[in-house]
Amino acid sequence: MPTGELHYTTPPKAAATTNNSAVVGASDEGWLWSQIKAEARRDAESEPALASYLYSTILSHSSLERSLSFHLGNKLCSSTLLSTLLYDLFLNAFATDPSLSSAAVADLRAARERDPACISYSHCLLNYKGFLACQAHRVAHLLWRQARQPLALALHSRVADVFAVDIHPAARIGKGVLFDHATGVVVGETAVIGNNVSILHHVTLGGTGKVGGDRHPKIGDGVLIGAGATILGNIKIGEGAKIGAGSVVLIDVPPRTTAVGNPARLVGGKEKPSQLEDVPGESMDHTSFISEWSDYII
Amino acid sequence: MPTGELHYTTPPKAAATTNNSAVVGASDEGWLWSQIKAEARRDAESEPALASYLYSTILSHSSLERSLSFHLGNKLCSSTLLSTLLYDLFLNAFATDPSLSSAAVADLRAARERDPACISYSHCLLNYKGFLACQAHRVAHLLWRQARQPLALALHSRVADVFAVDIHPAARIGKGVLFDHATGVVVGETAVIGNNVSILHHVTLGGTGKVGGDRHPKIGDGVLIGAGATILGNIKIGEGAKIGAGSVVLIDVPPRTTAVGNPARLVGGKEKPSQLEDVPGESMDHTSFISEWSDYII
Amino acid sequence: MPTGELHYTTPPKAAATTNNSAVVGASDEGWLWSQIKAEARRDAESEPALASYLYSTILSHSSLERSLSFHLGNKLCSSTLLSTLLYDLFLNAFATDPSLSSAAVADLRAARERDPACISYSHCLLNYKGFLACQAHRVAHLLWRQARQPLALALHSRVADVFAVDIHPAARIGKGVLFDHATGVVVGETAVIGNNVSILHHVTLGGTGKVGGDRHPKIGDGVLIGAGATILGNIKIGEGAKIGAGSVVLIDVPPRTTAVGNPARLVGGKEKPSQLEDVPGESMDHTSFISEWSDYII
Amino acid sequence: MPTGELHYTTPPKAAATTNNSAVVGASDEGWLWSQIKAEARRDAESEPALASYLYSTILSHSSLERSLSFHLGNKLCSSTLLSTLLYDLFLNAFATDPSLSSAAVADLRAARERDPACISYSHCLLNYKGFLACQAHRVAHLLWRQARQPLALALHSRVADVFAVDIHPAARIGKGVLFDHATGVVVGETAVIGNNVSILHHVTLGGTGKVGGDRHPKIGDGVLIGAGATILGNIKIGEGAKIGAGSVVLIDVPPRTTAVGNPARLVGGKEKPSQLEDVPGESMDHTSFISEWSDYII
Amino acid sequence: MPTGELHYTTPPKAAATTNNSAVVGASDEGWLWSQIKAEARRDAESEPALASYLYSTILSHSSLERSLSFHLGNKLCSSTLLSTLLYDLFLNAFATDPSLSSAAVADLRAARERDPACISYSHCLLNYKGFLACQAHRVAHLLWRQARQPLALALHSRVADVFAVDIHPAARIGKGVLFDHATGVVVGETAVIGNNVSILHHVTLGGTGKVGGDRHPKIGDGVLIGAGATILGNIKIGEGAKIGAGSVVLIDVPPRTTAVGNPARLVGGKEKPSQLEDVPGESMDHTSFISEWSDYII
Amino acid sequence: MPTGELHYTTPPKAAATTNNSAVVGASDEGWLWSQIKAEARRDAESEPALASYLYSTILSHSSLERSLSFHLGNKLCSSTLLSTLLYDLFLNAFATDPSLSSAAVADLRAARERDPACISYSHCLLNYKGFLACQAHRVAHLLWRQARQPLALALHSRVADVFAVDIHPAARIGKGVLFDHATGVVVGETAVIGNNVSILHHVTLGGTGKVGGDRHPKIGDGVLIGAGATILGNIKIGEGAKIGAGSVVLIDVPPRTTAVGNPARLVGGKEKPSQLEDVPGESMDHTSFISEWSDYII
């Protein structure tokens, strides 16, 4: 199961929306795929210079899974790891584990809904390195769980080279996750990321030393982690929490609270931190704590 | 117009030097191009192993525009976006909009003058990912303004993959801009960067949430932004201001002042911040605030 | 000599272990290479899909140097810098300077010993972009010392593009160095990194402005630098010191002390900082200062 | 049905051996594929430099069809027809039409049995351009019969470029066919080639002018056509006939007779030509007519 | 002038049709190009798997010249002669010499009219190696006449490798020429080929020894040369003549006569050879001499 | 020993000139290599568009062997046989067997002296597919003699694909051999070609059936074989003999005689054939027999 295993008594709204995803999954993907094709067709017509690209990546394929497998195979291949080999690998993974498709669909929706710069589903499918790196990770994670470590790590390495996104194959990531911009993201081996989380670029979910075992952060559902935040150690970021950009977080953050600064402090104070009303992983409100924070400014 | 539109009553010296760039542009480029060719010829003679590279990228071309188009086409191509297609795209863009050339010239000069590690113009032209990413962005921005969004975004995506520099095609960037090291730079859709700005690596000019509209920073002429600084929201960084490395800036910074820290504070205090004498975007003085700042150190 | 030239009266334990590396080097490499081949053979047998990759990169080669030259040549080539040219360059460099091999061996050991996610030497050799970028840097540094600047810079540029690791060819780096994750690392021209140092991703060893000369940090033996730390200027980080993740360091840090925060402060106070017992560059203990640091948390 | 449709009252021995190929096909292919893998494993062990090639082309695949699809996809791809697209095309074709597999098996056997220079099945599978061109043709022919002319012709064009073998997609070719050396073979649109035919290089089965319709030769089962022979027009080469090297044949050749010369004459005379005892397409006896022919030599 | 310079008092009908090609050229090309685009559009719609190919090679281009330059650049490039360089070369050639375009148009028409297997203009443009080799030759010939021998010969070499068609850059070739199948064609340095000639595969227009000077055949307008014919020495093949397949021709052949055999003899006898009624280069009647020739058959 | 083993009592003049090649070899190669570099330098200066190509293939290399290894590695590589692997293979072969170098030198001289279209040594080195195929064959033959059949055959296959020249790795070829144009040449497993032989394109030295053993032609020193000649079986073509273009030769040809036609007859008659005065393999006189042959023409 590639989804993170953090569970909370009070599920945030975001998690609820994907509760019965097993039921609606197939038709949902059907709608999305036809939408993507319609977008690509429109763009191919308006921009002949791009039509070849759109046909090879989207319009010539019969399903989202084949399109993704083709695109990732061509993006991640190298002179020693051929595109045909990777294409095969991705096709097989999608055929083996249907949750890969539903996760891709949820991630596409997350980007489209939360990122105002995301003008279409096809834009995300083709161009978002965070989305592509995450889907490749899901396949690497499947390989890892099948005890195919060497192949999982080779794939991981290609993703790290090509997208500058470094997610250990063993890390567990939920659905509806948005890696926005994504460059420089590092997620360690025992990290867990819940559903409907939004993570900006340069975010680190890192370990604490050279001892193995469970040593990376656990990110609850609906969390928002701002750009450049560094979260270290086997700590919990509670569901619906918000981590300010550039923060260095070394201790647990309770649900629905905001941590900011280096080292990170809870907005409102350690004892009685302010409670967030909405789900920051979905609202993407990066800066509402400014008014409070500005009090510290000299 | 790809140049940022921020205007100030008191233009800093840097802006002045490019005031009549329209007049001197052509001859200026001529001189620079002959300089680049002379450098490349010298290097090809002293280093036969590199001669093939220098001939294909510089010495076989008749102009800076053709050299840049060739180099970017080969750097940014992929198996689904061929080098010939991109080469055509760049050649057409340079032919359509002469300001692309003058901006490239100003950027080359900026790198040569401000970065002591830049030993020649050809070194910057061939090897500076910040310079190359910025020129590719200028072309993507031209496409964006021509309402060719899908192509602009595809080009943007290639730049983000290849150089790990993520500048939204809609962002407006002035001339004489130096992206030093550049890896991890993220510039959002409605950001504006003035003339003669210097931006180090890992700098983010980010938005504030999932609502569209004008939501990214406006960077005035002559600003210097240190490595890893995160600037969020539709705020103004006044001309000639300096942002310390690693700072997280969420509020306006007045002209010719220095903001440091996480969250960023004005050096000298909010009420009467210290005024800078020179133009930090050109002087590249990253650390003169140390003496003041060290007062905060426990 | 590619090793950093920082010398201290009390060498940390880590430096001692490599003292007579000249003597044991050859046999040590022999053992390691046979170990790597055994790992690759095992993986090729268990994972046919990866066997082709493992044979081309490791199992078909007669030595670590040839394997590395082949792998780097294929990773770093471009349409204008052919793999055969780079392969030749690497082979020649390894033949010219035997210390390149012993440094590679020491770096492989460092990754295997310090990074719990490193499950085998071959995993590091093939997949660690920090390891690969560092070995390519060592060759670029050799070229630089041979006054072959243009070629050194071209190689530097390829490493910066492919791995998003930007180490100036003139920077001097010791042995047994671990660049963990590595994305976004920037090391300036006059920086020096000692032996047995561990550096996480997004770390900057940067300069202070546009004036040339000696302007970058000097990192002592056995230092640990956490993710996202920015160290600026010609300052000394004493041997066995530790720099917290996300710190911005602008002043000297004494040996065996810990600096954290933005701006960085010494743990235990400027006057009488706490002394570290072990060598953090080897122990990789990122977070032991939390208890102390948490006192600052509001 | 990709097999030629020429039928004769007295089927030659060769045709008989493949009569119930539908029954024995699957197990036959199983044996052959395991044989090929054993050969490749032996070669990979004895020749590490080739192991990567053997794993990627043969040893990493689960069936002959996948191996062939991979190998052809990589051989025939170009910058505008990607290997992944061709790989898909071949995989689909093999899944659609099982006779493609049995024909490939029969062709492999033909090469192994008839060509003394063919030292193993894997040698033919990997290296025989005649074999590979023929299998690619079978797929192009399937596309042609599916009324997918443009794709069939694009594939045809790639085969003509890469292998210098030019077989029109509409041409019908039987099983157990050996194209030996194969360079320069040209087979026209309405040509038919029976089972167990052997055709040397530079052989032309050409048309007669610019009028469409049925205008190319029909080659019976078990025919042998020597190097450089040119056979033009809608004529019949009877089953078990032999065409001498360099011959130019413009008229029907009766079964089990030999035609030689330019223009071709029947050995033994037009009225009562000598009858062949064996099946020349299988015996590959190119020169037994020398004694007779030498009578013409001055 | 790339056209052959053979002139005859009685121009065959074929030459007449292209007499005032300078006048009708542009509109003619316009019609053809729109026809090609319409064909490609139809094929892209009916065959999504090929749409990417059709868009990149035809539909994204604004003219036949750009399409051809793109297609040839991608077909003929190698790791040491980049597609962008060749693309530039072809674009420049077409801009320099408009007769290249009109010759391409005439050659496309020749293939469409004379070859019943040519089902569309786009089929010829994309897939006919004879057509493509001939257009590349015309550009090499232009370079040769510009005294750019080394570049002309490098291009010649690529054509010989990629298409197995070996036409010396100095050879002069008229318009409306069809190289059918084309594999193995060899045309020497001082050969001249008139207008409306049709040449099958494996045809040699060769020299006579190691002495330089004018030493290759001169082929008149409207000639048809059958597959595998070898024509050696500075001899004349008169306009409207026909050379039988496999013939070896060492002496002049008068206009409108047929030469067949090895060595070639005139059909009808040396003294009073049979006169052809039509223009064989256009009628493509390869085999009408069979009835006469069969008299020689024993 | 890659040289053919045919020995004759009266060595033709050509063989004599290379008699003490072991003595003069090194200095001879030195002169030739400096000549090639001078030619390439001159061409690079006059043609900037080609300079990159000339530097990468010739001017950046320190010896003919390295240049050839690089050029062949790049020409013959594929997605499954990397250029670096082939480059290594060629470098090792040249280091192992010095006769490969002297043979390459002799072949370069042969092309330059005998082919009037060969305007420089560098032209032959870079562009002659016959020369390149022959040098690659020599390496394949070395592998074959080292009992590395699978690698030899893989290399053979690449040569057959890329150059359309099919020389079995076991065939023995002397020095000073010119394969002119070369497309379509087929040389069988047990064929032997002496020194100073000239062979035109489409020439077959073929076998006689499916029985193994010694079954291919033996070509004596100084022989000239015209275009399209087919020589079949274990027969001897005596030293200094000439085979006419398009001939089909099935019986021994005595030294210094000419065989022409299909089937081939001796010029002057079987009993007392005309004796040649010069060495046709060197004089390249293809057509001096015309006067005699024309007697047969009707």
A11 residue type, one letter: P
Assign F103 to helix, strand or coil: helix
* Pairwise CB contact (< 8 Å): E87 & B87: yes
pLDDT level of residue F15 (50, 70, 90 thresholds): very low
* Pairwise CB contact (< 8 Å): D84 & A85: no
Q: pLDDT (tens digit, 9 = 90+) per residue, A257-293?
A: 999 999 999 998 888 998 998 889 988 876 666 555 5
**H/E stretch holding A166:** strand A166-167
Q: Is A157 on the interface with D (CB under 8 A)?
A: no
* Pairwise CB contact (< 8 Å): C80 & E79: no
| Closest to D282 in 3D by CA, of D183, D158, D195 | D195
pLDDT level of residue F296 (50, 70, 90 thresholds): very low
Long-range contacts of E266-269 (CB under 8 A, 24+ apart): E266/F298, E267/E292, E267/E293, E268/E292, E269/F298
Q: pLDDT (tens digit, 9 = 90+) per residue, F85-133?
A: 999 999 999 999 999 999 999 999 999 999 999 999 999 999 999 999 9
Q: Are E3 and E99 in contact (CB under 8 A)?
A: yes
Q: Is B287 on the interface with F (CB under 8 A)?
A: no
Sign, Cα dihedral of D54, D58, D59, D60: positive
State what percent of residues in chain C have pLDDT above 90. 79
Question: From start to end of chain F, where are the E strands?
Answer: 166-167, 172-173, 178-179, 186-187, 192-193, 198-199, 204-206, 218-219, 224-225, 230-232, 236-237, 242-243, 248-249, 258-260, 265-266
Residue C224, beta-bridge partner list: C198, C242
Q: D-chain residues within 8 Å CB-CB of A56?
A: 82, 85
C-alpha span between A89 and C100 (Å, rounded): 36
Report whether pLDDT(E209) > 80. no
Q: Which chains touch B (3 or more CB pairs under 8 A)?
A: A, C, D, E, F
C-alpha span between B273 and C282 (Å, rounded): 43
D230-232 and C186-187 as β-strands: parallel, antiparallel, unpaired? unpaired
Q: pLDDT (tens digit, 9 = 90+) per residue, F240-293?
A: 999 999 999 999 999 999 999 999 999 988 888 989 888 899 888 766 665 555
- Residue A172 φ then ψ, to 5°: -105, 130
Q: pLDDT (tens digit, 9 = 90+) per residue, B207-259?
A: 977 677 999 999 999 999 999 999 999 999 999 999 999 999 999 999 999 99
Helices (H) and strands (E) in chain C, counts: 11, 15
Q: pLDDT (tens digit, 9 = 90+) per residue, F67-78?
A: 999 999 999 999
Q: Is D82 on the interface with B (CB under 8 A)?
A: yes
Rounded average pLDDT over E50-68: 97
pLDDT in the model for residue B290:
55
Q: Is D74 on the interface with C (CB under 8 A)?
A: no
C-alpha span between A197 and E185 (Å, rounded): 64
Q: A-chain residues within 8 Å CB-CB of D85?
A: 56, 60
Rounded average pLDDT over C238-263: 95
pLDDT in the model for residue A129:
98
pLDDT in the model for residue B28:
86
pLDDT in the model for residue A211:
75
Rounded average pLDDT over A236-242: 97
Give the residue from chain E lying closest to D206, CA to CA.
Answer: E227
pLDDT in the model for residue F288:
64
pLDDT in the model for residue A151:
98
**CA C239, C240, C241: angle at the middle one, nearest 5?**
95
pLDDT level of residue F16 (50, 70, 90 thresholds): very low
Report whether pLDDT(A224) > 90. yes
Q: Which of A84, A87, A90, A148 to mutate to test the interface with D (most CBs of D within 10 A)?
A: A84
**H/E stretch holding C159:** helix C149-163
State the smallest CA–CA distance between residue B28 and chain C in angstroms: 23
pLDDT in the model for residue B39:
98
pLDDT in the model for residue B200:
97
Assign F213 to helix, strand or coil: coil
Report whether pLDDT(D7) > 60. no
Rounded average pLDDT over A208-221: 88
- For E86, the token pair is 């060749």
Spatial CB neighbours of D44, under 8 Å, sequence gap ≥ 6: C55, D50, D51, D54, D55, D59
Q: B-chain residues within 8 Å CB-CB of A201?
A: 166, 184, 186, 204
Q: Is F54 exposed, middle or buried (0-12, 13-18, 19+ CB in 10 A)?
A: buried
Domains of chain B: 8-165 (1.10.3130.10), 185-298 (2.160.10.10)
Q: Is F202 on the interface with D (CB under 8 A)?
A: yes
Q: Helix crossing, F83-96 with F129-145: angle to 10°?
A: 70
| Closest to E216 in 3D by CA, of E173, E246, E183 | E173
Q: D-chain residues within 8 Å CB-CB of A52?
A: 80
* Pairwise CB contact (< 8 Å): C184 & A204: no
**CA B129, B133, B139: angle at the middle one, nearest 5?**
155
Torsion of CA C188, C190, C191, C193, to 10 degrees: 130
Q: pLDDT (tens digit, 9 = 90+) per residue, D183-211?
A: 999 999 999 999 999 999 999 999 977 67
Q: pLDDT (tens digit, 9 = 90+) per residue, D276-298?
A: 888 899 888 766 665 555 444 33
State the smallest CA–CA distance between residue C213 and chain A in angstroms: 30
Q: Is F55 on the interface with B (CB under 8 A)?
A: yes
Give the residue from chain F lying closest to A82, CA to CA.
Answer: F79
- Cα separation values, F58 from A71, B86, C70, F69, F289, Å: 38, 29, 22, 11, 41
Assign A20 to helix, strand or coil: coil
Counting Cα atoms < 13 Å in the Cβ hemisphere of F31 gives 7
**Nearest CB to D163: which of F161, F188, F228?**
F161
Give the residue from chain F lying closest to E152, CA to CA.
Answer: F50
Number of A to B CB contacts under 8 A, please give it: 152
**Distance, CA of B58 to chain centre:** 22
Rounded average pLDDT over E19-41: 79
**Nearest CB to F73: which of C70, C74, C84?**
C84
Q: Are F190 and F172 in contact (CB under 8 A)?
A: no
C-alpha span between E274 and E147 (Å, rounded): 44
C-alpha span between D252 and C38 (Å, rounded): 64
* Pairwise CB contact (< 8 Å): B297 & C248: no
Task: Match 């055709």 to its residue by tokens.
Answer: D199
Report whether pLDDT(E249) > 50. yes
Q: Provide the mean pLDDT of chain D.
A: 89
Report whether pLDDT(A3) > 50. no
Q: Which of D41, D43, D46, D50 to mutate to test the interface with F (most CBs of F within 10 A)?
A: D50
C-alpha span between A254 and F55 (Å, rounded): 64
Q: pLDDT (tens digit, 9 = 90+) per residue, B138-197?
A: 999 999 999 999 999 999 999 999 999 999 999 999 999 999 999 999 999 999 999 999
| Closest to E15 in 3D by CA, of E174, E122, E145 | E174
Spatial CB neighbours of F8, under 8 Å, sequence gap ≥ 6: F220, F221, F238, F239, F255
pLDDT in the model for residue A146:
97
Number of C to E CB contacts under 8 A, please give it: 5
pLDDT in the model for residue E288:
65
Rounded average pLDDT over B41-67: 96
pLDDT level of residue F28 (50, 70, 90 thresholds): confident
Q: A-chain residues within 8 Å CB-CB of E44?
A: 55
Q: Is F208 on the interface with E (CB under 8 A)?
A: no
| Closest to F52 in 3D by CA, of B67, B77, E142 | B67
Q: How many residues in chain D?
A: 298
pLDDT in the model for residue E293:
55
- In 10 A of CB D122, how many CB atoms? 25
Q: Is D215 on the interface with E (CB under 8 A)?
A: yes
* Pairwise CB contact (< 8 Å): B83 & E82: yes
- For C235, the token pair is 């300052």
Peptide bond into C116 cis (omega under 30): no
Q: Are C153 and C169 in contact (CB under 8 A)?
A: yes
| Closest to B105 in 3D by CA, of B17, B200, B219, B208 | B17
Rounded average pLDDT over C221-241: 97
- For F122, the token pair is 């560098």
State the smallest CA–CA distance between residue B83 and chain E in angstroms: 7
Rounded average pLDDT over E182-211: 94
Report whether pLDDT(B84) > 80. yes
**CA E279, E284, E287: angle at the middle one, nearest 5?**
105
Task: Match 């077989």 to its residue by tokens.
Answer: D167
**What secondary structure, in 3-state letters, does chain E show?**
CCCCCCCCCCCCHHHHHCCCHHHHHHHHHHHHHHHHHHHHHHHHHHCHHHHHHHHHHHHCCCCHHHHHHHHHHHHHCCCCCCHHHHHHHHHHHHHHCCHHHHHHHHHHHHHHHHCCCCCCHHHHHHHCHHHHHHHHHHHHHHHHHCCCHHHHHHHHHHHHHHHCCEECCCCEECCCCEECCCCCCEECCCCEECCCCEECCCCEEECCCCCCCCCCCEECCCCEECCCCEEECCCEECCCCEECCCCEECCCECCCCEEECCCCEECCCCCCCCCCCCCHHHHCCCCCCHHHHHHHCC
Q: Are C116 and C110 in contact (CB under 8 A)?
A: no
- For B138, the token pair is 């200028």
Q: A-chain residues within 8 Å CB-CB of E49?
A: 60
Q: Are B12 and B221 in contact (CB under 8 A)?
A: yes
Q: pLDDT (tens digit, 9 = 90+) per residue, D40-80?
A: 999 999 999 999 999 999 999 999 999 999 999 999 999 99
Residue C172, beta-bridge partner list: C192
Q: pLDDT (tens digit, 9 = 90+) per residue, D10-23?
A: 333 333 344 444 44
Torsion of CA F207, F208, F209, F211, to 10 degrees: -80
pLDDT in the model for residue B269:
87
Report whether pLDDT(E99) > 70. yes
